[in-house]
Amino acid sequence: MYSSESKVLTGSNTAEGRSTPAGSAAPGLRRSGDRTAPIATYREVAPRVRRPTSSTTYVPRQTFLAFSPPLVGEEEIHEVVDTLRSDWLTTGPKTRRFEQDFARYVGANDALALNSCTAGLHTALAALGIGPGDEVITTPMTFAATVNVIEHVGARPVLVDVEPDTLNIDPLAIERAISPRTRAIVAVHYSGHPADLDAIEELARENDLFVIEDAAHALPARYKNRTIGSGRNPTAFSFYATKNLTTGEGGMLTGSDEFLERARPFSLHGMTRDALSRYAKGGSWRYEILSPGFKYNMTDIQAAMGLCQLRKLECFDARRREIVETYHDAFAGEDALELPVERHDVRHAWHLYVLRLRADALRIGRDQFIDELTARNIGTSVHFIPVHLHPYYRDRYGYDENDFPVAVSNFERMLSLPLNPRLSSSDVSDVIEAVLDIVHTYRR
């Protein structure tokens, strides 16, 4: 596995595989408020790509470019081995340190490490007392886990359409869907672009609702002057293998102190003491079960990776933004392509780079476009198949394909391009040249 970030990250902070300590500014980065932001050096990383013309012979890459592999270095390997040689493999001192470092990074008072973002969302709903007879409003433009957990607690998911630019949940559609049974809104920060939290939270205040943030894509993202995860809303992050920070599998939950106090027992069988507080020196074997909780705890093996990845996150984020700017620069003049947006009042985490095809400009649709990229050895994906199109939700709630026209019309023409800090400048050029060659070949 390719594991040397020094070959794909720029700047002296990574030239020899060194990482940046959490909270410090790396060389090649400048401060933007209380967060670091990359200097626009992308032209040094991946020079402007020449657009294919009738006189240009396109040459595809020889090896397949995977869509989103993890970037794991020797630091993570060393930290995991150190854990394996220690007295703690499951939830222990490294998990607690990861929680504290993560909370400090996003500006939260505390955090709860879990085995997935799904676990975080489920724990949040359970800790808030949401259950049978309740309704929870969310978006169809998300992975099914967001909606599955609403089913798990016995509540009814109520889907509403999305905004046409960001593809985030539409506050106007939320307002129309609120009923006497509504208890909560699950706002998904799609692809890493924060949802319109001011409007959503205003609706929640007016109607006495909870807001839960699905931030699986949103590390590190900012909404106006606040980091996603720093507020009182229960906010669930994902550390799955493809995410901006990975622990293989894993997640984190932030929120108010009162909420986390209720949520923590839910994450481990409803127990009042975890293994560390029972078996470490000075601990007590006594515990009580406060609720029929879940087995959602993170292990120290996972946390060991997370501690290293968190220290590298600013560099990872800077590289993602460089790639995004390179894509933007290369695709900006193509009338066949609609580019993803970043509103002026947010900082996008750029977990995904979602292109949308303009059907009136091309002789092929999305599926064939993906096949053409595959033939050129470029891996892609689609985010997401709208939830109401899946058989379970379609049949259970009687959804029609056209119930959410914005979500469906965008799904039918979207694809996600490779976007990860392992991409070299030649990888980025290969993606761009392949996309432009397909556009040129199949233009109307």
What predicted TM-score, i.e. pTM, was given to this entire model?
A: 0.88
**359 CB-side CA count, 13 A:** 9
pLDDT in tens, 40-82: 333 344 445 555 555 578 999 999 999 999 999 999 999 999 9
Cα separation values, 301 from 100, 127, 244, 306, Å: 16, 26, 18, 9
CATH assignment at residue 303: 3.40.640.10
Q: What is the dihedral of CA 360, 361, 367, 370, to 10 degrees?
A: -160
CATH assignment at residue 414: 3.90.1150.10
Total number of domains in the chain? 2
Angle between helices 366-375 and 425-441 (to 10 degrees): 130
Q: What amino acid positions are annotated as catalytic residues?
A: 243
**Same-domain status, 37 and 149:** no
Mean pLDDT of 116-141: 98
Q: Which of 274, 307, 340 is a domain's end point? A: 307
Phi, psi of 68 (to 5 degrees): -155, 70
Poorest-pLDDT segment among 36-50, 163-177, 398-412: 36-50
Q: Output the DSSP codes for 233-261.
A: S-EEEE--TTSSS--SS-EEEE--HHHHH
The residue type found at 303 is A
**Same-domain status, 282 and 207:** yes
**Same-domain status, 78 and 31:** no
The residue type found at 409 is S
**Same-domain status, 197 and 234:** yes
Q: Which of 265, 284, 307 is a domain's end point? A: 307
pLDDT in tens, 354-403: 999 999 999 999 999 999 999 999 999 999 999 999 999 999 999 999 99
- In angstroms, the CA 418 to CA 381 distance is 8
Which pLDDT belongs to residue 28? 34
Burial degree of 269 (CB within 10 A; 0-12, 13-18, 19+):
middle
189 contact partners, CB below 8 Å, separation of at least 6: 168, 195, 213, 214, 215, 216, 217, 218, 221, 228, 349
The answer to whether the CB of 305 falls within 8 A of the CB of 248 is yes
**Same-domain status, 376 and 339:** yes
Between CA 400 and CA 406, with CA 403 as vertex, the angle to 5 degrees is: 135
Would you say residue 7 has pLDDT above 60?
no
**Same-domain status, 301 and 316:** no
- In angstroms, the CA 104 to CA 123 distance is 22
Boundaries of domain holding 341: 5-69+312-441
